[in-house]
Amino acid sequence: MLREKLKQELDKLNEDQLKKVANFISLMESQSSQVTSFFVPLWQKATPTQRAIEFRFSISIF
């Protein structure tokens, strides 16, 4: 239902308006990928050395 409504609305837009929509979509996609990469846990992206340093630091604060 929503998809069809959006298609109808897009069909009504002129070229400049479509470019603005395309730019907005690109912005949303780039922000989405940034948010996804931001929330990757340390243990998944860190090297073994980085994980060891983080582990030792977390123990030393207790």
- Tally of structural domains, the chain: 1
Predicted local distance difference test score (pLDDT) of residue 35:
62
Q: How far is CA 12 from CA 22, 23, 24, 57, in A?
A: 15, 18, 17, 58
Query: Angle at Cα 10 formed by Cα 6 and Cα 12, nearest 5°?
Result: 125
pTM beyond 0.75: no
- Domain residues for 51? 2-60
21 with 10: CB under 8 angstroms? yes
Predicted local distance difference test score (pLDDT) of residue 8:
96
Distance CA 23, CA 25 (A): 5
Express each pLDDT in 2-61 by its tens digit: 999 999 999 999 999 999 999 999 988 887 766 665 677 777 888 889 888 888 877 766
